[in-house]
Chains A and B, each alone.
Chain A
Amino acid sequence: DTEVTQTPKHLVMGMTNKKSLKCEQHMGHRAMYWYKQKAKKPPELMFVYSYEKLSINESVPSRFSPECPNSSLLNLHLHALQPEDSALYLCASSQRTRGTAYEQYFGPGTRLTVT
């Protein structure tokens, strides 16, 4: 199984709402990532979890709050978002061995619209 799943596929939320995005993988990968992607642009790294610990936060505003409850699951909690946060949110995973890079497997993304 080389699949990364994400739910929901689409999400519309108001600026005062609280919602969560979910990502799951069962490949035994120990690195998981959140990216934000605008149309026709490359993915922008937001957060990286390595062995369930947050290892990178790319200066993301606190209205985005990641969580990694276990090695297979990654959440992104959203609160008080702005319209400019509307984008495709991608989850990815990869093996993680010190000093070695592996390819990332991407999920289909959650299309988020903030109204």
Chain B
Amino acid sequence: AQSVSQHNHHVILSEAASLELGCNYSYGGTVNLFWYVQYPGQHLQLLLKYFSGDPLVKGIKGFEAEFIKSKFSFNLRKPSVQWSDTAEYFCAVSGGSYIPTFGRGTSLIVHP
């Protein structure tokens, strides 16, 4: 069975600070990895995804994530956050099934 853990449950940053949100998964085979974002009052949107190829994946709004297979990790990064990045961030993994498993989420608050 696949599982995913997000270690940072609440993150508070000031604008222009750098961001890294941790995501680790547990699955023995080939995985597909996703980061979703949910802005206040809005629906879940895909930030980026990894299926294969270059382990450094670039997504929308300046976000990127790096798949490190040896560490079973898929951390999300952004060099300089903005107030508008305040949101819930969910990491998700799908392994043997096309159904993704979601992490518990990280609540990011960016102060202007």
Q: Which A residues lie at the B interface, using CB under 8 A?
A: 31, 33, 40-43, 45, 48, 56, 90, 92, 94, 96, 100-109
Q: List 20 A-B contacts (CB under 8 A).
A: A40-B88, A41-B104, A42-B103, A42-B104, A45-B99, A48-B99, A56-B99, A90-B43, A90-B44, A92-B44, A96-B98, A100-B98, A101-B51, A101-B97, A102-B98, A103-B34, A103-B46, A106-B45, A108-B43, A109-B43
Complex Cα–Cα for A40 and B108 (A)? 11
The interface on chain B, measured as residues whose beta carbon lies within 8 A of the other chain's beta carbons, has a size of 22
Chain A residues near B45: list those with CB within 8 A.
106
> In the complex, what's the smallest C-beta–C-beta distance from B82 to chain A, in angstroms?
21
CB of B102 within 8 Å of the partner chain: yes
Complex Cα–Cα for A40 and B97 (A)? 25
B90/A40 in contact, CB under 8 A: no
Contact of A42 among B43, B90, B94 (CB under 8 A): B90
A40/B105 in contact, CB under 8 A: yes
